[in-house]
């Protein structure tokens, strides 16, 4: 049974779990806020822990198509973004590389296999750009708060585990 969070006004669903326990393919980290959370200016008291991964459009075609099907079924805008790079001081879009952000309000446990044992590891520093990980996550559907007349929905990918692959 999917978990549903309800608003205090009108008892309407705010967030619901669309799919639980999905696993990403092995991905390279672009950005990491696993140790030190990010705080958005419009919600400065709510920590956001996240990993932004880079996916190759050709190599991860099956996974990206699965995400697109979920987005289409839920009638939401895509959460996938093309990677941008600075080349000679100009921002260039790399359409072959796709960025997906996995984000949660609670710290994300990081696991590593050490001598055939799976261990939770305590990180002192953020995971580095380019490190390989696999993310276990839930797909959440939420109601956007900043839409007045019509209710707009979006998806977020809430990580439950990160597997560090060294």
Any idea what DSSP says for residue 128? P
Query: For the chain, what is the mean pLDDT?
Result: 87
pLDDT digits (tens, 9 = 90+) for 30-70: 999 999 999 999 889 999 999 999 999 999 999 999 999 99
Sequence-separated (6 or more) residues with CB below 8 Å from residue 53: 24, 27, 28, 29, 30, 99, 100, 101, 102, 133, 135
Q: What is the pLDDT of residue 128?
A: 95
Residue 136 has pLDDT above 60, yes or no: yes
pLDDT digits (tens, 9 = 90+) for 73-103: 998 888 899 888 777 888 888 888 999 999 9
Q: Which residues of 48-64 are buried (b: 16+ CB within 10 A; e: fewer)?
A: ebbbbbbbeeeebeebb
Q: Where are the alpha helices (DSSP H) in the chain?
A: 61-74
Residue with more model confidence, 13 or 22: 22
Sequence-separated (6 or more) residues with CB below 8 Å from residue 69: none
Separation in Å, CA 84 to CA 49, 68, 77, 101, 150: 22, 20, 19, 14, 32
Q: What is the pLDDT of residue 89?
A: 80
Please give the tally of structural domains in the chain.
1
| pLDDT band of 4, cuts 50, 70, 90 | very low
Q: Which domain holds residue 24?
A: 4-164
Q: What is the pLDDT of residue 148?
A: 57
Q: What percent of the chain has pLDDT over 90?
A: 61
Domain of residue 134, CATH code: 2.40.50.140
Please state the pTM of the whole predicted model: 0.84
132 neighbors 27 (Cβ within 8 angstroms): yes
């Amino acid at each position: 049974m999917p978990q549903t969070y309800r608003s205090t006004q009108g008892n309407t669903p705010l967030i619901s779990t669309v799919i639980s326990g999905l696993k990403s393919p092995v991905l390279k980290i672009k950005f990491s806020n696993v140790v030190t959370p990010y705080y958005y200016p419009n919600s400065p008291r709510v920590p956001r822990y996240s990993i932004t991964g880079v996916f190759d459009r050709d190599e991860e075609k099956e996974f990206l198509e699965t995400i697109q099907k979920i987005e289409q079924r839920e009638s939401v805008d895509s959460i996938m973004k093309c990677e941008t790079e600075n080349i000679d001081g100009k921002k260039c879009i790399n359409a072959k590389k796709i960025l997906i952000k996995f984000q949660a309000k609670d710290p994300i446990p990081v696991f590593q296999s050490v001598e055939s044992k799976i261990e939770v590891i305590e990180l002192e520093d953020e995971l580095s750009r380019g490190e390989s990980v696999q993310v276990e996550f839930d797909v959440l559907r939420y109601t956007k708060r900043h839409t007045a007349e019509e209710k707009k929905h979006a998806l977020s990918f809430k990580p439950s585990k990160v597997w560090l692959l060294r």
